[in-house]
Structure 1
Amino acid sequence: MLTALTMKLSSQHRALYCYLILSVWIFLLVAGMYKYIGNEDGTSTLKHTGNEMPNRNFPKNLKPDIKMRRIFKLCNPPEEISLGSEGQIHGNYSLEGVLIFVRHGDRGPLSHVRNISNVNCAGDLVNAETLDSDISFRSYEFFLQNLTSPGKTSSFLPQFLGPFHGFPLLPPTSGECQLGQMTPVGVVQLLKTGHILRLAYGDRLGIGNGSLGTDDMTVYSTRYRRTFQSAVAFLYAFLSAEDFQKVVLKESQSLAFCFNECACPAADKFRHKFSSESNEHFHSHPAVVKLVETAASVVFEMPDKALVSDPHALGDALLLYVCHNAQLPCIDVGTTEKLPPESCVRMEQVTGLFAYTEWEARQYAKSINLKRSCLLRAYGLVRDIVSHMLRMISEKKPKFVFYSGHDKTLQYLTTALGVISDTTVAPHYASRLVIEVYKSKEQNITSKKANSGTVARDYFFRLVFNGRDLTNHIHFCKGSNNLTTVQAKTSEGSENLHNSSMTPHGPRRQSSAYLCPIECIVRFLHDDYFSSFNATNFKDVCSVHS
């Protein structure tokens, strides 16, 4: 009888049991989908493992695959900016000074694009209570507001701003994207860059100990809001409050920082030839031509002939959407006969475009015209660099020289030095290049014993681009006769100096780095700079080859 009763109850409640089990299963399924597919606004989250991108949201029409991760690297998210091999030379070498070059931070597009009002260029920064354990956007904003508040204008501010008086110190935090103007994300990129480089160089340069004077710091910026604001953000994070007040900003009239050696018709000629080469590359890929024409007609509000045939202009515009987690633009179907029925930019178009521009960048190393153009554009800057190096040797100052520039600034300089790669010719936002000047303690002791005093051969330099030691790529440094291999301290877990994400407080291990004698760059400037032109000076090259 008990058995019969049990079977009866089981039969009656079987449906209830199945319902409960099914409900639990559906709940777990929905929870899993919510976690791994997205939240209520359709974005998805990736876990940061190994070399994958750190946690960030992706738009619904941008799938987080390998190709898209490569494109996101062009955005240079602040959370990915970390210390590389900068400042890792110790032991028998003393750091005498650094020259730092940066591209400005994240900015709005250079041309009018569609649906720009729907893009939040501030991201989550202006709504977050805290941004990072090391750098706070809010504290920086408060610092600037306090600096310029009515009745509290600091006495040093007019001297600090110099020719940039009247420029806004901070971009709009409303989230509105403005043409060519830096975004709050760009500010954080430079704050982070300044912070990590202070960890690398601060103590060794005397930052914050009261030893730095006005003539120990030289700061240049081009006359653009984005480069000026990048410079201020970097200096705030890199310098102490006391040292910050000693800086005097200087203006460069040219994005090449060419100073007195700017006018050169020959440079324009070689650049035009290089543009023709790039145009030939572009038209040799009919599928890419069609892609650019189709996507540009959607992306740009007023597409003209130049925009619909320029893959780089399109790539720059698409970064607005990609870097700010915005939906790719669409246009109403049927507004123009040239567009296919589907009139939204598609993910495969984005990845296809950037795959092409990456390929094209790799072809730049083969271009003689690009090399010659950059040699002439960078001549004034290389002269300025060598002048500062020699002053660091003879006068022990300046300790720190800073150039806030553009992608072309870095492209001209690295190409002129023979350091050519897809990352140097097309540097991402907030890219950094550092030239470190070192003095050998051992050789100096030998020189003193020989009563020969301090000589130039006691001094060396190295070039570090976005954390990578590229000194052995400089064409006049190559070879065992010039390069000195030294042991550098790196953090445990870094593969090597060419692929590192280091923190200065972690365990150290030994790795190789390179130093090039300063005599090499001096000889290159004075004797060999124009050898490829069969000329001996800037004036002759610019007039003969124009």
Structure 2
Amino acid sequence: MKLSSQHRALYCYLILSVWIFLLVAGMYKYIGNEESISALKHTNNDIPIRSFSKNLKPDIKMRRIFKLCNPPEEISIGNEGLVHVNYSLEGILVFLRHGDRGPLAHVRNISSVNCAGDLFNTDSFDSDLHFRSYEYFLQNLSIPGKSPSFLPQFLGPFHGFPLIPPTSGECQLGQLTPVGVSQHLKTGHILKLVYGDRLGVGNGSLTSEDFAVYSTRYRRTFQSALSFLYSFLSSEDFQKVTLRESQSIAFCFNDCACPAAEKFRHRFSVESSEHFRSHPAVVKLVSTVAEIVFEIPDPALTSDPIALRDALLTYVCHGAQLPCIDGLSFNKSPQQICVRMEQVTGLFAYTEWEARQYVKSSNLKRYCLLRAYGLMRDVVSHMLRIISEKKPKLILYSGHDRTLQYLTTALGIVSDITSAPHYASRLVIEVYKNKEQHLASKQSKDGPIARDYFFRLVFNGRDLTNHIHFCKGSTSTAIHQAHKLNMTESPHNASNSQSWIKKQSLSYLCPIESIVRFLHDDYFLSFNATNFKDACAIHN
């Protein structure tokens, strides 16, 4: 009886211990999940905590914010170009968001922010070496009276634009920074490793007709395109390019005017405002922080979390101290009131949540469909030219975050990643020919040639082809025989790519016939229309 009683006591002790452990673990998880929400509630600025130090190790929430900065050393090869050897690369369409830039509105203490960052104090990606080489190249191009003969033809409508942003470190409103240049030097470098040989870059086979390069008429997109091309092309091929201007950030060309698009944009804006107002803690946070961050009072800015996020990136991405203003404490004594890091993480937690709501908005989907139509027509036109004429090999669109958002949303790819792309984001559409299938088609002379061609969509290194709504269930192929990259120039990138190949097993390919059919037959189904003009007509 005594032994049995001891066993019962031991069992009770063990059960109680397990119960306490589970209770503590559950509370820890709950606290961790609620931390971002609770940060929104603490908006009292009576403690003048002065920004953050780059020497501090950021927590997981701060690392998510830093990803929006996209430092050059973090840009690496993803699963671009990884397909079965039966498929030959015929051409690529590259969509870029401009690189790191200054704020779009006047913010406090801008003179204390070094927009060159640590670019010239780091060994990562040999940033100093690559940037200085590029700077020297451009300086030689622009020597008065000694400019090369190809330069006027190359610059086209951008003649007279500065080729490179100031390297002094001074932040300028909306202008590309040296870090933004370095981001696209790195992007061009890694994509050249993937696609260069397969497209014939540097082997003398390419002509001016193999390039179609578009940029919006902003310095930041023009300079981003220039730095990408310098790094992606050989010096010989660089001289064959002519830059073309897009009047719209949507690259809509001849299909821009659309009253209905503005109607859907307004409806989506109302939805976002309702989301915002339904979070009183966020409303208070944005109002409080905006009064500190923005120099010029503007009601539109003090109630716009997206504009505030953009302004805060100026400080976060360049390791600057968060702004402060002179104020009064509770006892009315003078003191500085500063933006705190928990306010930054709270704001970004909300904007991430808001971006995840976009997938539910039919108004956003319709707005993007109408805005992206002109670009979609241009994309399909270039694809068909690649099939019929074997050119161009490189089509580049240097644009903005909304450029990428319009296109991906129109294709049915809606996520917080594609809806709010970080600086220097890249979207690549790869056009492939099935060599075996094409040979069989030529011998039998049966069926349209387009059925032998496929495409992939890779966004910041991630294959999203199977997320396109008309490509779901698309062809998948093993990639264990993927094209081996010549990585002699960059052993670090080689190891990254090889480790990636070991992890992945499938590569998705979508028939080009699918995107042609979508554009011509299904694009306007949600508008109960068959063409752009009817879809753009406003119906009550």
Query: Normalised by the shorter chain, which TM-score bucket?
Result: 0.7 to 0.9
**Does 1:443 find its partner at 2:437?**
yes
Q: Report the counterpart of residue 313 of structure 2 in structure 1.
A: 319
Sort the Cα spacing of 1:421 and 1:337 in 2 relative to 1 into closer, same or farther, 3 A.
farther
Letter matched to residue 448 of structure 1: K
Cα offset, 1:209, TM superposition: 0.2
Aligned match for 1:225, one of 219, 234, 242: 219
SS at 1:333's partner residue? strand
Given the alignment of the two structures, is residue 390 of structure 1 paired with residue 384 of structure 2, yes or no? yes
Of 407, 413, 421, 1:413 maps to: 407
Return the alpha-carbon distance in structure 1 between the equivalents of residues 223 and 131 of structure 2: 13
Amino acid paired to 2:225: A
The CA deviation at 1:338 is 13
Change (3 A) 1:172 1:453: same
Task: For 1:421, give the aligned amino acid.
Answer: S
State the match for 2:446 in structure 1.
452
Structure 1 counterpart of 2:367, one-letter code: S
For residue 63 of structure 1, report the CA deviation from its aligned partner. Answer: 5.9
Equivalent residue for 1:167, pick from 161, 166, 171: 161
* Unmatched 5+ stretches in structure 2: 1-50, 485-492
Look up the match of 2:74: 80
Bigger Cα displacement from structure 2, 508-517 vs 283-292: 508-517
Matched, 1:293 2:287: yes
Of 477, 482, 490 in structure 2, the residue corresponding to residue 486 of structure 1 is: 477
Q: Deviations over 1:143-185 (max 9, x none)?
A: 1011112342110000000000000000000000000000000
Over 3 Å counting, the alpha-carbon distance change for 1:539 and 1:454 in structure 2 is: closer
1:44 is matched with none
CA contact (8 A) 2:327 2:335 kept: yes
Q: How does 1:171-250 map to 2 (within 5 A)?
A: 171-250=165-244
**Aligned-residue CA RMSD in angstroms?**
2.5
State how 1:136-147 maps to structure 2 within 5 Å. 136-147=130-141
**Which of the numbers 245, 248, 272 marks the counterpart of 1:251?**
245
Matched letter for residue 322 of structure 1: V
When normalised by structure 1's length, the TM-score is 0.84
Q: CA deviation at 1:60?
A: 6.5
Distance in 1 separating the partners of 2:70 and 2:53: 17
In the TM superposition, residue 129 of structure 1 has moved relative to its aligned partner by 8.5
Alpha-carbon spacing, 1:205–1:271, altered in 2? closer, same or farther (3 Å): same
Q: 1:338 to 1:321 in 2, by over 3 A?
A: farther
Percent of aligned pairs sharing the same letter: 75
Instruction: Give the 3 Å change call, closer, same or farther, for CA 364–147 of structure 1 in structure 2.
Output: same
Q: 1:61 to 1:139 in 2, by over 3 A?
A: closer
How do residues 318-397 of structure 1 correspond to structure 2 at under 5 angstroms? 318-334=312-328, 343-397=337-391
SS of structure 2 residue aligned to 1:410: helix
- Equivalents in 2 of 1:438, 1:278: separation in Å? 40
Q: Could you say which structure has the greater relative contact order, defined with CA pairs below 8 angstroms and 6 or more residues apart?
A: 2
Further displaced range: 149-158 or 301-310: 149-158
Aligned pair partner of 1:97 in 91, 100, 107 = 91
Aligned match for 2:393, one of 390, 394, 399: 399
Which residue identity lines up with residue 219 of structure 2 in the other structure? R
Partner SS state of residue 357, structure 2: helix
For residue 283 of structure 1, what is the amino acid of its counterpart?
Answer: R
Question: Do 2:429 and 2:458's aligned partners in 1 also have CA atoms closer than 8 Å?
Answer: yes
User: Which amino acid in the other structure matches residue 338 of structure 2?
Assistant: C
Q: Which whole-Å CA distance do the structure 1 matches of 2:511 and 2:451 have between them?
A: 7
Kept after mapping to 2: 8 A contact 1:448/1:454: no
Distance (whole Å) between structure 2 residues aligned to residue 141 and residue 339 of structure 1: 51
Name the SS of the counterpart of 2:478 in structure 1. Answer: strand
Q: Which runs of 5+ in 1 are unaligned?
A: 1-56, 493-500
Whole-angstrom distance in 1 between the partners of 2:184 and 2:383 = 25
Once the two structures are TM-superposed, the CA of residue 300 in structure 1 deviates from its matched residue by 0.3
Distance 1:90 1:461, change over 3 A: same
Letter matched to residue 244 of structure 1:
F
Q: How many pairs align? A: 479
Mark the CA change 1:267 to 1:338 in structure 2 (over 3 Å): closer, same or farther.
Answer: farther
SS at match of 1:259: coil
**Larger deviation, residues 352-361 vs 58-67:** 58-67
Match of 1:271 among 265, 268, 272: 265
Q: Over residues 386-444 of structure 1, what are the superposed CA-to-partner deviations in whole Å (9 max), with x where a residue is unaligned?
A: 00000000000001100000000000000000011101000000000000000001111
SS of the residue corresponding to residue 148 of structure 2 reads: coil
Cα distance between partner residues in 2 of 1:130 and 1:75? 16
SS, match of residue 343 in structure 1: strand
Q: What amino acid is the match of 2:478?
A: Q
- Residue 35 of structure 1 is matched in structure 2 by none
SS in 2 for 1:306: helix
Q: Tell me the equivalent position of 2:296.
A: 302
Pick closer, same or farther for the CA change 1:60–1:485 going to 2, 3 Å: closer
- Contact 1:84/1:502, CA 8 A, preserved across alignment: no
How far has the Cα of 1:446 moved from its partner?
A: 1.6
Moved more, 102-111 or 84-93: 84-93
Query: How far apart, CA to CA, are the structure 2 residues paired with 1:120 and 1:194?
Result: 25
Evaluate the alpha carbon distance shift between residue 139 and residue 99 of structure 1 in structure 2; reply closer, same or farther with a 3 A threshold. same
In 1, distance between residues paired with 2:78 and 2:160? 36
Q: TM-score, normalised by structure 2?
A: 0.85
Separation in 2 of the partners of 1:338 and 1:96?
70
Post-superposition shift, 1:506? 3.7
Which residues of 2 match residues 57-136 of structure 1 at below 5 A? 59=53, 64-126=58-120, 132=126, 136=130
Q: Residues 443-485 of structure 1, C-alpha deviation per residue, up to 9 Å, x if partnerless?
A: 1122122123761100000100000000000001113xxx100
Question: Once the 2 structures are TM-superposed, how far is the Cα of residue 62 of structure 1 from its aligned partner?
Answer: 7.1
1:463 to 451, 457, 460: 457
Q: What SS class does the counterpart of residue 235 from structure 1 fall into?
A: helix
> What is the Cα deviation at residue 132 of structure 1?
1.4
**1:336/1:428 CA distance change after superposition, 3 Å:** farther
Tell me the equivalent position of 2:532.
538
Match of 1:514, as an amino acid?
Answer: Y
Separation of aligned partners in 1, 2:464 and 2:298: 40
1:432 equivalent in alignment to 2:426: yes
Q: Secondary structure at the match of 2:170?
A: coil
Secondary structure, counterpart of 1:102 in structure 2? strand
In 2, Cα distance between equivalents of 1:456 and 1:433: 23
